[in-house]
Amino acid sequence: MTERNLAKELAQLATQVDSLEKELVRAWAEREREAGHRRRAEADADDLREQLRHARHRAKVAEHELAAASARLDAVEHAAGGRERELREQLDQAEQAKKILRHEVEQTERERRALELNYKEVLQNLRHAAREARTSPDVRPPAEEVTLVPLEPGDNGW
């Protein structure tokens, strides 16, 4: 080979080495860029795993709180149902007592009216007897035979 060919071949080899070196630098840069992307992706994945773990923990806590709140609500509903039944029973008893009292008041009022009517009849009979006694002097007993009964105010014998 001649020097010229050798120089030419050396130049070609130098060009190839430069090209390969550039390609190697580009590949290393690409590899570094990919490694950086991979590190960021792994860091993002770690962050997302941490967020997921935290979200699962919060979901468990919320689930327990919901279960506790549901249990408290059930207890309150049960207590309210029991209280409502008690109050309804008391209301029914009060209604029954009210009916009984109303009936007793009506009966007492009927008795009062009957007594008032009897009282009026007794007064009429007494007036009538007094008129008859005034009109017939021979029926009147002597004064020493008459029994006087003192009347106490407010005492009508009942």
**Tens-digit pLDDT profile for residues 99-150:** 999 999 999 999 999 999 999 999 999 999 888 888 765 655 666 666 666 6
Rounded-to-integer distance, Cα 101 and Cα 156, Å: 26
Q: What percent of the chain has pLDDT over 70?
A: 85
Residue 156 has pLDDT above 70, yes or no: no
> For residue 80, what are its two tokens?
């309210």
Q: Which of 73, 72, 65 minimizes the C-alpha distance to 57?
A: 65
> For residue 57, what are its two tokens?
């923990």
Binning pLDDT at 50, 70 and 90, where does residue 68 land? very high
- Residues composing the chain: 158
Say if residue 90 is exposed, middle or buried (CB neighbours under 10 Å; 0-12, 13-18, 19+): exposed
